[in-house]
Amino acid sequence: MSPPHFAPFPDAKVRKSILPDEWQLYLESWASLAELYLRLADDQFTSAIQEKDTVTPFLISFFHELASDENLASKVASLRRRCFFLLHRLLSRDEIPDSILSWSVLSDICHVFPRSEQFRVLLQEVWKQNGATITKSLQTAKTSLIRNLESKRPEEAENTLNRIAPLLRASSDASIFMLTGSDFLDSLCSAYPQVPLSMQKKLVTIAYLGLTAALDGPKPNHSLLSDHLYSLKSSEEQEQKKEPGKKTLVADLVTNTPLLEKIRDKATAPEAARVRNTAASLSTFRQSGVARPKKLIRRKVNKGKEKVEDGYGHGAFSGDIHVHRISMISQIQDLFPDLGAGFIVKCLDEYNDDIEQVTAHLLEDALPPYLAEADRNEKLYVLDHLITRQRLHFPDRRPLHHHSHFHRRDQFNTFPSAAMYLMMMNLTSLRLIHLVCILVVAAKT
C-alpha cells in the first residue's frame, strides 16, 4: 500500500484564514506524515516518490514559506526538524527531482538553515552528482543579474541578490560558478556607484563571497582568484587616476571586509604566490573615508548561575532533576543519540527547558560559544541508568556515500492499518483523524 500524499504548505494569505486549532491540527498531521515517510524502507520510499511525488512539492512550498516569513520558524519548529530529515533523505537518493535543484529552492533552504554544517556537507555532495542541473538553473539568475546590474536601473537586481545570497554563503561551488568569467564581477563594479549605500553593501558581500570561495576546498582555485584580483587591481588603478579618492567597490571591498587577511592566511601554498602578491598590492586602495563602523558583537558568557554538583564533580545540572526533565533529555537524545545527558542539561539551562529551541540550535550549529566548545559527550551519571529509549535512526554527519543505511526503518513498528487508511484521507478530515488517534492511544494505555 502506498503511503498517504502530502498537501502543499499554504502561503501566508491562506494561513491567515485558518483557525488556530485547525492550523495546529494541520501541523501535527504534516509532522506525522513526515515521520511516516522517514520510517519507510528504502525501496518503499523510492516507490512512493516514483509513483506520485508529493514530498518534493511539499518541501519546496514549506521551505519557501519559511524563507519568506521570519516569524514562522518558531511556530513550526517540530515540523521544520522533521522536514530537514526528510529533505536529507530525498537529497541522499541517486535520482533527485530537478525541481528541488532549482537555485531558488536551494537558496530558500539555505536561508532556513544558514548555519547548518550538516546541510553544507550534503549540498557539496549533491553538487558533485548534480552540478550540471544546478548550474543550468543558476545560469538564468546570473544572466538576469548581469543584465539588470548593467542597465540604467541596477537597483532592480536587488531582489534577486537578496534571494541568491543565502545559497552563495552556503555553497562555495555556487559562488565560484557566479564568478567564473569576468562578466558578473564587472557588472558588480559598474553598478556600485549608481546604487544606494544599502545595496552597495550587498554588492560588496556578493563579491567577497565569490572571491573567498576560490580559497575553499582541498583544491583552491588560485588561477581564478589570481585573474580576478589582477583585473580588480588594473581597473581600480585607472579609476583612481581619473578621480583620486573615488569610492568604488574595490575600495569598499578591501577596506570593509577581511578579504586581504583571509587570502594572506589561506593562500600559503607555493603556487599561490601570485595571489598573495596581488592581494597585498590591493591594500593601497584602502580608504579611511569608506570604512564603516564596526558592529558591537555581544557574546554570551558564563551567567554565574550556581550549580548543584552531581556527586561526580561534573557540575552538569542546577537544581533537582525531575521526571519531566528526564523526558526532555530522552526526547533530545532520540534525535541526537551521540549527545551526553550532561551536555543536554546545559543546553536546556541555556534555553529555559525549551526543547524546540534546543533542537533547532543543535541542528543549525548555532549554540553560544561556551556550549559550542563544551564536551558533547559529557555524562550525567545520576540519570543515565534511568533513561531507556528506542532511538529514531535519523541521519548523522557522515558523508553522503554512507547514507544508504541512514534511512532504514526495519526496526520500527509499522503504523496500524486502520491509522494508515485514516491518514490517506484529505486534510479536511483532520479533526476526525485527531479524535481517532486519541481513542487509539487511550485504548493502548
Q: Is the pTM of this model over 0.75?
A: no
Name the more confident of 430 and 209: 209
Residue 206 confidence (pLDDT) above 60: yes
Residue spans of the domains in the chain: they are 323-401
Residues 340-370: tens digit of each pLDDT: 888 888 888 888 788 878 887 887 778 888 8
Identify the DSSP state of 192: G
How far is Cα 23 from Cα 161, in angstroms, rounded to an integer? Answer: 33
Please report the pLDDT score of residue 57 as a whole number: 97
Length of the chain measured in residues: 445
Distance of CA 160 to CAs 64, 95, 147, 210, Å? 15, 28, 12, 16
Check whether 422 has a pLDDT greater than 70.
no
Give phi and psi for 19, each to the nearest 5.
Answer: -65, 145
pLDDT tens across 1-52, in order? 689 999 999 999 999 999 999 999 999 999 999 999 999 999 999 999 999 9
The DSSP symbol for 272 reads: G
- Note the pLDDT of residue 383: 45
pLDDT in tens, 282-314: 999 999 888 776 554 444 444 443 333 433 233
Query: What gap in Å lies between CA 362 and CA 116, rounded to an integer?
Result: 9
What pLDDT score does 251 carry? 95
User: Is the pLDDT reported for residue 388 higher than 60?
Assistant: no
**Spatial distance between the Cα atoms of 259 and 125, rounded to a whole number of angstroms:** 27
Burial class (CB in 10 A: 0-12, 13-18, 19+), 392: middle
Q: Residue 290 carries which DSSP code? A: T
| Amino acid (one-letter) located at 285 | F
CATH of domain 323-401: 1.10.8.10
